[in-house]
């Protein structure tokens, strides 16, 4: 899947069945379904899962919790917009 295909898929009612858990979390985040995205991110036990988790808490506005997850991901807090960070995460997965 290419980035544009992923973005276009968010116009649908459900994610493509072929998406990995990290992409599913980002798909729901792009749809504005924070709760579902967060539930999926919590089940991803990797640095990538921690990065997604950090991003989601940043979107939520809980920066202290986001900082915790950025540390677990081994990443500094993202300095750009949340949309730019979402793009970076998706591109890193694809």
pLDDT of residue 41: 96
Residue 63's pLDDT is what? Answer: 95
Write out pLDDT tens, residues 21-71. Answer: 999 999 999 999 999 999 999 999 999 999 999 999 999 999 999 999 999
* CA-based torsion, 31, 35, 37, 38: positive or negative: positive
Q: Is the pTM of this model over 0.85?
A: yes
- Report residue 2 as tokens: 């290419």
Output the six-digit token pair for 9: 């898929």
Q: pLDDT tens for residues 67-94?
A: 999 999 999 999 999 999 999 999 999 9
């Amino acid at each position: 899947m290419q980035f544009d295909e992923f973005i276009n898929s968010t116009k649908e009612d459900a994610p493509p069945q072929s998406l990995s858990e990290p992409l599913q979390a980002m798909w729901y985040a792009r749809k504005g379904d924070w709760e579902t995205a967060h539930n999926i991110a919590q089940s991803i036990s990797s640095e990538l899962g921690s990065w997604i988790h950090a991003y989601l808490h940043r979107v939520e506005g809980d920066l202290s919790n986001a900082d915790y997850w950025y540390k677990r991901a081994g990443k500094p807090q993202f300095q750009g917009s949340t949309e730019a960070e979402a793009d970076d995460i998706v591109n890193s997965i694809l």
